[in-house]
Amino acid sequence: MPSCAGSNSNQIQVSTAASVKIVNGDDADIEDHPWMVSFQIRKSGGNYAHECGGAIIDKSWVLTAAHCNLFRHEAKNMRIAAGSSFLSQMTENIPVKKFYLQDKYNSDTGLQNDLMLLQLQKPLKFGSTINKIDLDTNVGHNYTGEVCTITGWGKTDAKGKNNPARLQVQYMPVVTNAHCNSTWFLFTKYSLYHGAYSNFICLQDNDKDSCQGDSGGPLVCSNMLVGALSFGAPTCNGSLPSVHTKISPYLDWIKDKINTKNNKNKKDKKKKKNDNKGKLDGKGKSEGKGKVKGKGKGKKN
């Protein structure tokens, strides 16, 4: 499992795809979590493999964690899979057109501003098993004590070698930032409140946890996307809170990126349509003129 260094001597272990899953969860139905997707990377043999979770926030956009592309894969080697509780039965497998790391993401640590937007090559078709989730827009809301939902296809224990075939769900309470920070400080001697680390929300509940493969997965409270899984305990046993990047502080970045790219796509499509129309009109006029001339000459003869 990759680690993120806070200093030369203190490290925070990251719950990356190679190290994060839902532990002691229950089997989930995709109809209850239709925004859930599997972010997949093409491996050297050509086959795609589950890397992280993600959430549909628009027909052509998915939100996940930036560290899910820790090794800087190209967009042509990425896709998302959606539409089923089972990884082997996905109804949609759509390539990624472009990916956008959060502007201030720090790849040296992998913790700060840990968000990534995936722009899909074609829009998803919404229905009972594929749909978007609304973003949490209440920046100042305190979710402490609320029981929220996490989902994923990650490992079910830290020693697990295979991802579960079926989507897993877990319900866990939000703990205070103070508890989250102090618990992690005892483990790493590094404060989560340092800089952008204040933009997090944490869950903890006995032996329940997230684990390898759950990174980037949605944290849902009151049917809103509140966070994306960033990192957690390397043992996946609930000994440390799982830490999720809070979505609301990044609303402007998310909306600006989506609106800018969507508007550009509309302009490009309109230009292409006009270009094609111009070509057809030009071709029609040329052919029509030739036919009139030929017909006139025939009459004179």
For the annotated catalytic residues, the residue numbers are: 67, 114, 215
Give the Cα separation of 7 and 3 in Å (integer).
11
Contact 55, 33 (CB under 8 A): no
Give the Cα separation of 216 and 64 in Å (integer).
4
Number of residues written out for the chain: 301
Query: In terms of C-beta density within 10 A (0-12 exposed, 13-18 middle, 19 or more buried), how is residue 202 classed?
Result: buried
Give the Cα separation of 205 and 227 in Å (integer).
17
- Nearest one of 184, 267, 256, 197 to 12, comparing CA atoms: 184
